Chains A and B, each alone.
Chain A
Amino acid sequence: MLQLEKISKRFGGLPALEDVSFHVPRGQVTALIGPNGAGKSTLINCISGVLQPTEGQVSFAGRQITGQPAHQIARFGIARTFQNLKLFPRLTVLDNVLTGMTCEGGRSMCMAMLRLPYLRHRERRLRLRAMEALDRFDLTEKANWPAEVLAYGDKKRVELARATVGNPQLILLDEPVAGLNAEETSAVGDQLRRLRLAGYTLLLVEHDMDLVMEIADKVVVLDSGRCIATGTPDEVRRNPLVLEAYLGRMDATA
């Protein structure tokens, strides 16, 4: 589905990613793990077009997407969340989720200004779908609240709702449960499992090992910008390189 080939990214000479290659299979959950500063968010940014890789190629569903602008990549069907939440604080929760379907809302400004009946119907359908998504994430009562007053956990869920509501083909999740308490984490875990059952393809960046080991089909380990291991959760867990470079250090800090 998504194929990365020798992705390198340097920030003014400092390498953040070096020759990262792996494949995200369709309909599976691929987890991307690694210690802080390993380059996980940078990689997500390179895939989604927020950053351009210095070298290497990304292809998605058989199409080269390297060098395409971010909005174009979004239109190919890749949605994402951000590690440091990027909600629109002034919009309501419902409108925030509706922005997740921008690609389906029509592009023509003239048509929008005339608000022809077909657009009105479409708008009503989108609204229903957004309400459904809010319902799934248990946010229905808060639909009309401005997003900025939500608690952190709710904001995370709104972002997840926004990323999934447009039925994207691939969802890039940058630490969806970071900062959540145990209860919220398990609720988000349920959502991720549900997405997986529904056949979505996920690329999940996460520090929560229990969650990763439980729902991932495939794990990719980054360390200092290099891909040091790929495999099933069990293989990775037993890989001595990973134990040394990653889990050992995690234990020391945890």
Chain B
Amino acid sequence: MNGRQKILYFLYLHRTGLAVTALSLTLLVYPLFQDNPYNLGLSNLIAIHAIVVLGLNLFVGYAGQISLGHAAFFGLGAYGSAIGCVTLGLPPWPTMLAVALLVALVALLIGVPALRLSGHYLAMATLGCNIVVHTVMLQWDEVTGGPSGFSGIPPLAFGSFAFDDEVSFHYLVWSFALISLLLCLNLVRSGVGRGLAALAGDETAAEALGVDTRRAKVKVFVLSAAMASLAGSLFAHCYGFVSPDSFGIFTSADMVIMVVIGGMGSVWGSLFGAGFITLLPEWMDVFEAYKDFVHGGILVLVLMFLPQGLITGLLEQIKIKVALRRRKDAAA
């Protein structure tokens, strides 16, 4: 190996770590170049969505399941933190953690029976949960504030330093997003992750290789719910206000669309999908009123032509082309 090859091999070997480092550094200096609070607010929203989508993508892309109810967990996290901190007067950080654990428990209780179902039935079951949660948020005025929402949620703070402006939010939410990214990347590169990939590929084969498929599905579901709950808590503390509108079934559908854009089972794609769908309304003001149609249209088109999702689907097509060409060369 000559020097150049060595460097390339080193880059290849450490590609994941290097990519995460590069992204972290970019985000670290981002506020220095971008001081428009509106734009920072958008990138913060991307980070919050990314946390949900990373978890959901594990569930959809790795466990091979479908959930149309993740906005419910997102909303439970947000309302949990709001009620805990304001109504009960609990400290924010422990509340956030406790709420995530509670939501994980709820997901476990829902997941154990619901994950015996599959396909359309699972989609319906999770959708139903979302509707129930949304209705409770709307109707239970005394606790949730009803349709007008819940305001006055305090910002998160370390001692006297409060995360109460766009720049400090930026560092807060992106730290959470990067940690989630790193944990997900680690998971999919491990033996457990391969078991999950096997499960998404073929359940019978995965079982025969020693993967406890039922348990694995429930575990990933619970993990993704806990991540959604954490993102919800961040959302509540960042905006100081939550309302049921943010947690309806259309939000759930948007989350699934983010997964689909990024590609099933692609961790990096989740970031891209979250960014793309969050920014889409910014680029196309005209479509504001038809947002749901546009999203639905994207979903249908991608799933029709690239069932593995947009980015992964395209990458896979390229990989297959390359491999087929090499196969032909080898044969010749």
Contact = CB atoms under 8 A, between A and B. Distances in A.
Contact of A113 (B187, B207, B213, B330): B187
Contacts of A95: 194, 197
B330 A141 contact: yes
Given A86-B204, A109-B219, A103 B183 contact: no
Given A91-B201, A106-B190, A145-B323, A99 B207 contact: no
A82 interface: yes
Contacts of B320: 146, 148-149
B191 A105 contact: yes
A99 B208 contact: no
A74 B323 contact: no
B192 A106 contact: yes
B3 to A, nearest CB: 24
A71 interface: yes
Contact of A115 (B186, B316, B319): B186
A143 to B, nearest CB: 11
Contact of B201 (A48, A89, A103): A89
Contact of A71 (B207, B223, B324, B326): B207
B203 to A, nearest CB: 10
A71 B205 contact: no
Interface in A105-129: 105-109, 112-115, 119, 122-123, 126
B308 interface: yes
Contacts of B327: 145, 149, 151
A146 B315 CA distance: 12
A93 to B, nearest CB: 10
B323 A109 contact: no
Contact of B190 (A87, A100, A123, A162): A123
A39 interface: no
Contact of B316 (A70, A90, A119, A151): A90
Nearest to A85: B205
Chain A binding surface SS class: helix
A112 B208 contact: no
A115 B201 contact: no
A145 B208 CA distance: 23
Interface string B172-196: 0000000000011011011111110
A109 B187 CA distance: 7
A90 B198 CA distance: 10
B132 interface: no
Contacts of B191: 98, 101-102, 104-106, 112, 119, 122-123, 126
B209 interface: yes
A69 interface: yes
Interface residues of B, number: 38
Interface in B201-240: 201-202, 204-213, 219-220, 223
Contacts of A105: 190-192, 194-195
A91 B197 contact: yes
A88 interface: yes
B212 A90 contact: no
Interface string B317-332: 0011001101100100
Contact of A48 (B198, B208, B219, B223): B208
A88 B205 contact: yes
Interface of B: 183-184, 186-187, 189-195, 197-198, 201-202, 204-213, 219-220, 223, 265, 308, 316, 319-320, 323-324, 326-327, 330
26 contacts: A49-B207, A50-B207, A69-B207, A71-B212, A72-B212, A74-B207, A74-B208, A74-B210, A79-B208, A80-B208, A86-B202, A90-B316, A91-B197, A98-B194, A102-B191, A102-B194, A102-B195, A105-B194, A109-B223, A112-B191, A113-B186, A115-B190, A126-B191, A145-B327, A149-B320, A149-B324
